[in-house]
A = this chain, B = another copy of it.
Amino acid sequence: MKIIVGQDLLSANASQAGENRVLFKNHRLAVINLISAPGSGKTALLEKTASLLKGKLKLGVVVGDLYTARDAERIERAGVTAVQINTEGVCHLTADMVARALQEVSLDQLNLLFIENVGNLVCPVSFDLGERAKVALLSVAEGSDKPAKYPGIFREAMATVISKVDLLPYTDFDLPACLEEIQQINGNQQFFITSAHSGQGLSQWCAWLEQLAAGKFNGNSIASRS
């Protein structure tokens, strides 16, 4: 008799995540699992990233949403192949959903794969997708009090992107306090202070992505984290 409980779901996910990780390694592919609340600007960041890395890296995107293909359509308009996963109500991507989406992607053609998770600052953190790095996004419109309230993603992330900093003058977001709070949770991560609107911080972000993607060729310290 098979009893399906929460823990079994997580261990089945871990097993499929391990298979994804082997697949990514075999294709020498750097994979980022991008996690944030709804509306933090994940898709806008990917649109700008696609434009800035054009001719430098070959990107692919797997994008998760409960419903609609809106994000994949936006990313394809930016010139990058995207596969949309509709979870139909499920609040996070699973390794199995990603594995099925990967059948639609020519991994050998890519240097860097983004997995844009469902907009949710909590649940996606528990589900390993086989990625090399989790990256957190936090928009200044959300408030600088969020890291201690939602520590899970900041503890796991290799980098945090603070987004929409063009809105800083119109909010009470305390950037130094926010960065300090994230560092108290996880002192070992990169920060990028960005605006997809003005372009601020995106060249540093793209330089870091190039480093991460290059890791696949020479087995450097970034790659060794996977």
Q: Does A141 touch B at the CB level, under 8 Å?
A: yes
Chain B: minimal CB distance from A177 (Å): 12
Q: A120-B120, A167-B170 are in contact. Are A139 and B91 (CB under 8 A)?
A: no
Query: Contact check: which of B39, B119, B151 meets A141 at CB < 8 Å?
Result: B39
Q: Is the beta-carbon distance between B149 and A70 smaller than 8 angstroms?
A: yes
- With a cutoff of 8 Å between Cβ atoms, the chain B residues found around residue A70 in the complex are 145, 148-149
A187 at the binding interface (Cβ < 8 Å): no
| A116 located at the interface, meaning its Cβ lies under 8 Å from any Cβ of chain B in the complex | no
Residue of B nearest to A9 (CB): B6
- How many copies of the polypeptide does the oligomer hold? 2
What is the bound-complex CA distance between A164 and B89, given in angstroms? 27
| Shortest distance from the beta carbon of A52 to any chain B beta carbon, whole Å | 20
**Closest chain B CB from A175 CB (angstroms):** 15
Q: Are B37 and A67 in contact (CB under 8 A)?
A: no
Kindly identify which residue among B5, B151, B152 contacts A5, using a CB–CB cutoff of 8 Å: B5
Whether A38 sits at the interface, judged by CB under 8 Å, is: yes
User: CB within 8 Å of B: which residues of A?
Assistant: 3-6, 37-39, 65-68, 70, 89, 91, 118-123, 139, 141-143, 145-146, 148-152, 164, 166-167, 170-171
3 shortest interchain CB distances as A-B pairs: A39-B142, A141-B141, A91-B122
Given A37-B39, A39-B139; 11 other pairs, CB 8 A cutoff: A38-B121, A38-B150, A39-B141, A39-B143, A66-B151, A67-B149, A68-B148, A70-B149, A118-B122, A141-B141, A167-B170
